[in-house]
Amino acid sequence: MTKMNIGIIGTGFIAKILAPQIQSSNKARLAAVSSRTLAKAEKFVANYPGAVAVEGADQLIARDDVDAVYVATPTAAKEDVASRALAAGKQVLIEKPLHSAESFKRLSALAREKGLVLMDATHFVHHPRTAAMRERLADLIGAPRSLHTMFYFPFSDRENIRFDPTNEPMGAVGDMGWYSMRAVVEYLAPNTLEDIKVFAERDPQSGAVIRSTGVLKFDAGKTATFDVGYTAGAAVMDLTVAGTSGILTQDDFVLDWHSGFGFDNPDIQTGFVHRSGMATRNEFAFIETPSERSQHALMIDNFADLIRNGDAAEREIWLSATEKTQVFLDAIWQEIQTQARAVPGTDPSSKK
């Protein structure tokens, strides 16, 4: 099988995580890496024989030996870079979150027009656990009614883009809340948002949102609560989906403890827990969903497959999930901004 030639735009934290997965894939190879500073790209590719270092995204996009680009830049730069890649006929894997649903809609319209893949880089949806839980959900818990997620990791580096509202306007909401909203899309599958209440805490120095919690009410009586941020002092990735006849839980819904990047615990099985009725902890059932490959490696494979199979209907499924996730994220963000405007002096966007 001919491997898909992928170029990476950006040389930061997540680019370094994904590069080895691209290079070791049976379906893709790392063809090129671009940086705004050539020396950084050269240093990056030193570990990847055959990969070329280039200066600037445009040079990478212009290369004939690049079929697809992975956009690993801060959110503020994503639409600009991705739209230029799509316009040039390149398939695009883009980091989450997007700047806004409107921004994503412009990109997806371009991808449709060109018949290209546009996929967001959420890893957990590629783990077989996600499909297994979706398939068995109705059988195990009836109709899903409410979903709760809690996602924190301790983080306080003010030099990082997470504390830079210019580059990452939504802060922890965009970074962590993205996964909460994607879980809503995957497991609760609501159609429309009817009501929302959100609380946000900002870093006093940078103005970046560092914690947020809230509740969303959807159609058909479905509800979701979320609690995300950098301030809890411990990593937590809890998910609970409650249905009319049972409950499913995961304690590692974003990055599985087994081999999600950041973790490497071969002894910890990946799966989900089912309970119903008055079951006590001894009676909870752990449903194992093993995977030979990590969820971020599977994401690269699935991206390459989606390009290769040319299936427009399948491309739409991915576009739809991304758009819905971003629409719910935007609603959270709008609520936070509305509150900030109502309390003079708390809206960082007014401190220009």
Those residues with Cβ within 8 angstroms of residue 290's Cβ, 6 or more apart along the chain or in another chain: 128, 269, 270, 271
Which CB, 121 or 329, lies closer to ligand NAP?
121
Query: How many Å apart are CA 219 and CA 186, to the nearest integer?
Result: 16
Measured in degrees and rounded to the nearest 5, phi and psi for residue 303 equal: -60, -45
127 contacts ligand NAP (rule: CB under 6 A): no
12 contacts ligand NAP (rule: CB under 6 A): yes
Q: Give the active site residue among 27, 78, 90, 96.
A: 96
132 contacts ligand NAP (rule: CB under 6 A): no
Query: How many Å apart are CA 86 and CA 93, to the nearest integer?
Result: 11
Alpha helices in 230-311, H assignment, sequence order: 295-309
Residue nearest to ligand NAP (CB): 12
Comparing C-alpha atoms, which of 199, 211, 198 is closest to residue 156? 211
Give the x/- contact pattern for ligand NAP in 166-205, rule: CB under 6 A.
--x------x------------------------------
Query: How many Å apart are CA 337 and CA 200, to the nearest integer?
Result: 10
Which CB, 88 or 215, lies closer to ligand NAP?
88
C-alpha torsion angle, residues 201, 207, 210, 213 (rounded to 10): 30
Residue of 28, 121, 247, 340 that binds ligand NAP (CB under 6 A): 121
CA angle 341, 347, 348 (to 5 degrees): 160
79 contacts ligand NAP (rule: CB under 6 A): no
325 contacts ligand NAP (rule: CB under 6 A): no
> Which one of 34-42, 45-53, 239-247, 316-324 is the stretch in contact with ligand NAP (CB under 6 A)?
34-42
Residue of 20, 42, 43, 77 that binds ligand NAP (CB under 6 A): 77
20 contacts ligand NAP (rule: CB under 6 A): no
Q: How do beta strands 247-250 and 236-243 pair?
A: antiparallel
Residue of 19, 72, 92, 185 that binds ligand NAP (CB under 6 A): 72
Query: How many Å apart are CA 339 and CA 161, to the nearest integer?
Result: 24
Alpha carbons within 13 A on the beta-carbon side of 245: 8
Identity of the residue numbered 263:
F
Return the SS3 of 158. coil
40 contacts ligand NAP (rule: CB under 6 A): yes
> Which one of 72-80, 107-115, 274-282, 324-332 is the stretch in contact with ligand NAP (CB under 6 A)?
72-80
Q: Is the dihedral of CA 180, 188, 186, 319 positive or negative?
A: negative
75 contacts ligand NAP (rule: CB under 6 A): yes
Active site residue 217: no
In this structure, what token pair is assigned to residue 219? 């159609």
> Which one of 12-20, 107-115, 195-203, 207-215 is the stretch in contact with ligand NAP (CB under 6 A)?
12-20
Identity of the residue numbered 337:
Q
123 contacts ligand NAP (rule: CB under 6 A): yes
* Min dist. Cβ of residue 181 to ligand NAP (A): 14
Residue of 30, 61, 92, 95 that binds ligand NAP (CB under 6 A): 95
Query: How many Å apart are CA 340 and CA 342, to the nearest integer?
Result: 5
> Which one of 32-40, 128-136, 220-228, 330-338 is the stretch in contact with ligand NAP (CB under 6 A)?
32-40
Count of beta carbons in the 10 Å neighbourhood of residue 214: 21
Which CB, 78 or 274, lies closer to ligand NAP?
78
CA 287 to chain centre: 24
287 contacts ligand NAP (rule: CB under 6 A): no
> Which one of 9-17, 214-222, 229-237, 331-339 is the stretch in contact with ligand NAP (CB under 6 A)?
9-17
Residue with tokens 């399948």: 314
Interacting residues toward ligand NAP by CB under 6 A: 10-15, 35-37, 40, 72-75, 77, 95-96, 121, 123, 161, 168, 175
Q: Which residues are catalytic?
A: 96
